[in-house]
């Protein structure tokens, strides 16, 4: 059972109250994120609430003015996300107040988050260190010539629930934390492709509805060629439709393939961490799997 969070904060001439995120309506959360230009649908908010914990700040008449969430993976790690304050409160310390409550709830865990440019200074003041840029790439997907095919002794196929243990194991090797619960929830609402080599999963990519269209992620592979093979069917399936990929990869064949496929650079955020190790996918060690695309900026 999720713990309930309450508290109060005086902001200028009015009192704000912090409550558990599960106690407010999805439309209120949707209004909050749309107000700062984030694309999350009510369905996206509900999935995040199912996966994690959070608090919101509302004013005396019940308007939601801020939020912050955390997503535990195992007992020692969590990602932090959906830290939003309305324009009315962005210069009044509300985000810092929310983050201190998150840090208290996550005490003893290593943390990772993706910071907007406006929020980076706040996270630095709380002890987070800068790791790597995340490139938000999106656009109308298009085929870039002939779709790549698996090479000899490799098989590309649709994933189903029987593949979950292999997907979770490969993801853990790349991400550095065991995310079985998250992946078990993502798989039923996603179309997934896995590349098997000699009977072992070598790469996979999930694609699900999100925001303005669909998002690809997580995508795990040990090299650009495998990453391209597992994302190519999603590009083809959504040709002419809005598609998004959040990736730390800025150069190389995978990045070039995204560009040819209509997914242009749109925005950036910065991955930051507090404790623990960040596994930079731009640094490769042999066949070590790395995360080519995030599940989302909130989930990592």
Place of tokens 């699900």: 208
> What pLDDT, on the 0 to 100 scale, is given for residue 300?
97
Is residue 226 situated within a structural domain?
yes
> What pLDDT, on the 0 to 100 scale, is given for residue 2?
58
223: containing domain: 136-293
Omega before 218 within 30 of 0, i.e. cis: yes
- 147 lies in the same domain as 96: no
Q: Provide the CATH number for the domain around residue 37.
A: 3.40.630.30
- 230 lies in the same domain as 88: no
Span 252-260, average pLDDT: 96
Number of domains comprising the chain: 2
pTM for the predicted model, two decimal places: 0.92
Is residue 121 situated within a structural domain?
no
Is residue 236 situated within a structural domain?
yes
- 186 lies in the same domain as 46: no
- 58 lies in the same domain as 200: no
Paired with 245 in beta bridges are 137, 216
Q: Could you report the per-residue pLDDT of 145-178, keeping only the tens digit for each?
A: 777 878 778 999 999 999 999 999 999 999 999 9
Is residue 210 situated within a structural domain?
yes
Span 218-237, average pLDDT: 97
Q: What percent of the chain has pLDDT over 90?
A: 80
Predicted confidence band of residue 18 (pLDDT cuts 50, 70, 90): confident
Q: Could you report the per-residue pLDDT of 182-210, keeping only the tens digit for each?
A: 999 999 999 999 999 999 999 999 999 99
Q: Would you call 247 helix, strand, or coil by DSSP?
A: strand
Is residue 300 situated within a structural domain?
no
> What pLDDT, on the 0 to 100 scale, is given for residue 175?
96
Is residue 91 situated within a structural domain?
yes
Predicted confidence band of residue 92 (pLDDT cuts 50, 70, 90): low
Span 91-102, average pLDDT: 85
d(CA 261, CA 267) in angstroms, rounded, equals 17
Predicted confidence band of residue 179 (pLDDT cuts 50, 70, 90): very high
For the chain, what is the mean pLDDT?
92
- 144 lies in the same domain as 275: yes
Span 238-266, average pLDDT: 97
Is residue 261 situated within a structural domain?
yes
Is residue 48 situated within a structural domain?
yes
d(CA 52, CA 35) in angstroms, rounded, equals 22
- ∠ CA 116-121-124, nearest 5°, is 105
Cβ neighbors of 123 (< 8 A, separation 6 or more) are 99, 113, 115, 272
Query: Is the pLDDT confidence value at 13 over 50?
Result: no
């Amino acid at each position: 059972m999720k713990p309930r969070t309450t508290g109060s904060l005086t902001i200028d001439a009015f009192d704000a109250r912090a409550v558990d995120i599960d106690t407010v309506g999805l439309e209120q959360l949707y209004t909050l994120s749309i107000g700062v230009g984030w694309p999350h649908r009510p369905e996206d908010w509900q999935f995040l609430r199912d996966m994690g914990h959070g608090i919101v700040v509302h004013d005396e008449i019940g308007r939601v003015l801020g939020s912050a969430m955390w997503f535990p993976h195992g007992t020692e790690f969590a990602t932090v996300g959906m830290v939003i304050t309305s324009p009315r409160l962005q210069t009044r310390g509300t985000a810092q107040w929310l983050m201190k409550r998150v840090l208290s709830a996550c005490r003893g865990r290593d943390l990772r988050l993706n910071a907007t440019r406006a929020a980076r200074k706040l996270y630095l003041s709380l002890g987070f260190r800068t790791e790597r840029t995340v490139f938000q790439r999106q656009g109308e997907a298009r085929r870039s010539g002939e779709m790549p095919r698996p090479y000899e002794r490799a098989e590309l196929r649709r994933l189903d629930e029987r593949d979950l243990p292999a997907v979770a194991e490969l993801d853990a090797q790349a991400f550095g934390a065991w995310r079985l619960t998250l992946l078990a929830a993502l798989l039923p609402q996603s179309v997934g492709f896995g590349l098997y080599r000699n009977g072992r999963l070598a790469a996979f990519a999930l694609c699900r509805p999100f925001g303005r269209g669909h998002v690809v992620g997580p995508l795990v592979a040990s090299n650009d060629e495998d990453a391209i093979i597992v994302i190519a069917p999603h590009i083809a399936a959504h040709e002419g439709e809005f598609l998004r990929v959040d990736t730390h990869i800025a150069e190389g064949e995978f990045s070039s393939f995204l560009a040819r496929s209509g997914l242009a650079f749109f925005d950036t955020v910065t991955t930051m961490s507090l404790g623990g190790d960040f596994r930079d996918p731009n640094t490769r060690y042999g066949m070590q799997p790395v995360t080519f695309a995030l599940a989302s900026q909130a989930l990592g």
